Amino acid sequence: MKIPAEIKIVALVVGTCLFYSYVGHLVPQKEVLPPTEVIISADVTTDEMIAIGEEIAQGKGLCLTCHTLGESGSLRFPDLSGIGSLCTTRIPGKSGLEYLAQSLYEPDSYIVPGFNPGMPAIVRPPIGLTDDEILCVIAWLQSLGDEATVTLETRHSFNSDGVEAD
């Protein structure tokens, strides 16, 4: 008995679809929920900013989608553990605050050796963090290896009002 070519083609297509569906279900998926609204009051302390910054990094900012904390080996983007102390030495003549701000506002202006560009500017959609949210993320980053010094009054050359820090 000879099987018609049309049936063989249909069987091949169905078999291929089933195979790729099976393989697709084996790949672990990361569930990403819509970000929760973060309310930052004008009288927030630096410690509260650190907690808010961590919440933003894990949620709305999507930082920990690509960055890691305390991991080594083959990484997509630099590990953030210790960045609070490393940021002061990454670019000679640039303060840690300015380095962190530049990394968030203009991520492709300095690429850590050994890594490729690819981080989105988080002030633009789809992430779209505000200046206050970014200050909270900077406070959290500073706390990873050093003391956070940022407040909501902190200014750097990337703030939307353009006022530099003293």
Burial pattern 34-71, b for ≥16 Cβ within 10 A else e, equals ebeebebeeebebeebbebbbbbbebbbbbeeebeeee
**What is the per-residue pLDDT across 15-66, written as a single tens digit (0 to 9) for each?**
999 999 999 888 877 776 777 788 899 999 999 999 999 999 998 998 988 9
Ordered by where they begin, the domains of the chain are 46-143 (1.10.760.10)
Q: Name the nearest CA neighbour of 104 among 133, 84, 134.
A: 134
Q: What's the pTM value of the predicted model, to 2 decimals?
A: 0.76
Q: How far apart are CA 59 and CA 37, in angstroms?
A: 10
Q: How far apart are CA 143 and CA 82, in angstroms?
A: 8
